[in-house]
Amino acid sequence: MTDTKIRVRFAPSPTGTLHVGGARTALFNWLFARKFNGAFILRIEDTDQTRYDKNAEIAMIKDLKWMGLQWDEGPDIGGEVGPYRQSKRLDIYKKYALELIKKGMAYYCFCTSERLDEMRIKQKAEKLAQGYDGLCRNLTPEETDKRLQAGERYVIRLKTPLEGSTCFSDYIRGEISYQNKELDDLILFKSNGFPSYHLANVVDDHLMGITHVMRGDEWIPSTPKHKVLYDSFGWEPPVFMHLPVILAAGGGKLSKRKGAVSVTEYKEMGILPNTLINFLSLLGWNPGDDTELMDRETLIQKFSLDRVNPKSCAFDEKKLEWMNGQYFSSSATETLLPDVKKTFQEASLPVESFDDAYLTLVIDVIKERAKNLSDFVERGSYFYADPDSYDKKAVKKHFKDGAKQLLEQVLSVINSTEDYTEESLEKAFQELANTLGYENAAKIIHPTRLAISGVSFGPGLYQLLVLLNKETVIRRLEKGIHYLESKV
Ligand code: GLU
Q: CA nearest 362: which of 347, 377, 348?
A: 377
DSSP labels for 419-483?
S-SHHHHHHHHHHHHHHHT-SSTHHHHHHHHHHHHSSS-SS-HHHHHHHH-HHHHHHHHHHHHHH
Distances (CA, A) of 5 to 35, 206, 321, 322: 11, 14, 37, 38
Q: Identify the H or E element spanning 34.
A: helix 20-35
Q: Where are the alpha helices (DSSP H) in 241-372?
A: 263-269, 273-281, 296-302, 317-330, 333-346, 356-366
CB of 196 sitting under 6 A from ligand 1: no
Q: Take atom 3 of ligand 1 and give the residue whose Cα is closest.
A: 12
Report the separation in Å between the CA atom of 132 and the middle of ligand 1, taken as the mean of its atom positions.
Answer: 24
CB of 52 sitting under 6 A from ligand 1: no
- C-alpha distance across the termini of the chain, in Å: 77
Cα–Cα distance for residue pair 197/1, rounded to 1 Å: 30
State how far Cα 345 lies from the chain centre: 23
Report the separation in Å between the CA atom of 11 and the middle of ligand 1, taken as the mean of its atom positions.
Answer: 5
- The answer to whether the CB of 285 falls within 8 A of the CB of 303 is yes
Q: Mean pLDDT in each 10-residue stretch from start to end of the chain (488 residues)?
A: 81 94 97 97 94 94 96 97 97 97 96 95 91 94 96 96 95 96 93 95 98 97 96 97 93 73 89 94 96 94 96 93 91 90 92 93 90 88 94 94 94 93 95 93 95 93 94 96 86
Give me the pLDDT at residue 1, please. 47
Is 320 strand, coil or helix? helix
CA gyration radius for the chain? 32
Give me the pLDDT at residue 487, please. 75
Report the separation in Å between the CA atom of 213 and the middle of ligand 1, taken as the mean of its atom positions.
Answer: 10
Give me the pLDDT at residue 195, please. 97
Cα–Cα distance for residue pair 287/310, rounded to 1 Å: 15
Q: Is 256 a catalytic residue?
A: yes
Backbone angles phi, psi at 246, to 5 degrees: -105, 120
Q: Which of 253, 256, 318, 487 is catalytic?
A: 256
